[in-house]
Structure 1
Amino acid sequence: MPRALSFACLLALALGSSPTVQAATADAAAPLFNADGYRITLYRSPTPEQVDGAQIVDTAQLQAMLSQRPKPVLIDVYRRQWLQGRFIEDEPHANLPGSHWLANTGDGELAPRWMEYLTLNLRALTDGHQDTPLVFYCRADCWLSWNAIKRASALGYSHLYWYRDGLDAWQAAGLPVEPAQPEPLR
């Protein structure tokens, strides 16, 4: 018995000082939000039931919106690796039909170039009308769309909708998707 207890204590000490445990502890202590209130880490984790400046819609509500006029602009903000001046396709990506993929615009910290990419694309997609209905989405449990809505609201857009469960819910409902490429970054 004392031998088993000694082994358990040594194992606990070894695990407690391992780099993996230390890294996990450091990650847990890192802030989740920046000073401006944008989520900056752990983007794929449970999301809140609301976001300031937007109404949450589910799949049935979104389908109804898509059959009305004015038809909302669908904006996917899922990430895509950017390397040496171009998007790198590491795996195929699909969107809700008719969507515009503004990759990487939901990151918590946006470099000026990415902020300009978002701003110019929103202006073009709405013809400069900030009251155009905009639906932002990503995947289920994805903070990227939450961040993008906060950003669009800060830019003055007033008819914002969050398709919180995103592409995952759309596909789970058996609805069609289409292959996607991000809007070009110029």
Structure 2
Amino acid sequence: MPRALPRLPCLLLAAAASCLSPGGAHAETPALFTPDGYRATLYRSPTPQEVAGGTVIDTATLQHLLNQQPRPVLIDVYRRQWLQGRFIEDEPHANLPGSLWLANTGDGQLTPAWQAYFAQNLQRATAGQAQQPLVFYCRSDCWLSWNAVKRAAGLGYSTLYWYRDGVDAWQQANLPVQPAQPVPFP
């Protein structure tokens, strides 16, 4: 028995090393993207310069679009905590005046109920017109609006804009925001 004791530290070191090695036991790191191409984690990180199915716009372009006919529908997809069947106001949120806040619809994966919430509210906001201009935004360095543009394109909407720097850029331009509440989830 005394001979086994000197080997104990070596066995512990070997076990620890196997956990740290690339092929050893470790916690699963979630994938950045879902199999169908939506960003699934690290939503607040640098975003790409383009989005499939949409056109990237800046503040000046958005201001121009807001003076055109048909006027685009502004859709904020910033997250709001959802707990026990209701939105929880964890912090005040403001968005661009006249926006429709479809909270959590920019997540990488949506349950069928959240997908229906997104689709039904887009249908209502566009009066069923798939060519109605839609502008999706969140904050700067936020993948939620990128996901939402892709999701809207998948639903057949054809005039999609991604206001990439979102409410942060709007406020930096000293433009007004308004207190916001998300559209109620059924």
Q: Fold-level match, TM-score > 0.5?
A: yes
Any idea what SS the aligned residue of 2:146 has? helix
TM-score scaled to structure 2, two decimals?
Answer: 0.85
Query: Which residue does 1:47 correspond to in 2?
Result: 47
RMSD between aligned residues: 2.0
Any idea what SS the aligned residue of 2:55 has? strand
Query: Which residue does 2:9 correspond to in 1?
Result: none
Structural mapping, 1:9-88, within 5 Å: 29-88=29-88
The whole-number CA distance in structure 1 between the counterparts of 2:90 and 2:142 is: 19
Number of residues paired by the alignment? 166
Structural mapping, 1:1-186, within 5 Å: 29-186=29-186
Residue 168 of structure 1 and its aligned partner are, at CA, apart by 0.3
The whole-number CA distance in structure 2 between the counterparts of 1:147 and 1:87 is: 21
Residue 30 of structure 1 and its aligned partner are, at CA, apart by 3.5
- Hey, which bits of structure 1, 4+ residues long, moved more than 6 A? none
Any idea what SS the aligned residue of 2:108 has? coil
The whole-number CA distance in structure 2 between the counterparts of 1:58 and 1:26 is: 40
CA deviations on 1:57-109 (whole Å, 9 max, x unpaired) are 10000001001111000000000011111100011000100000000000001
Query: Which residue does 2:20 correspond to in 1?
Result: none
Any idea what SS the aligned residue of 1:157 has? coil
Residue 26 of structure 1 and its aligned partner are, at CA, apart by 5.5
Letter matched to residue 39 of structure 1:
R
Any idea what SS the aligned residue of 1:82 has? strand
CA deviations on 1:10-48 (whole Å, 9 max, x unpaired) are xxx9xx99xxxxxxx968x53200100000000000000
The whole-number CA distance in structure 2 between the counterparts of 1:158 and 1:135 is: 11
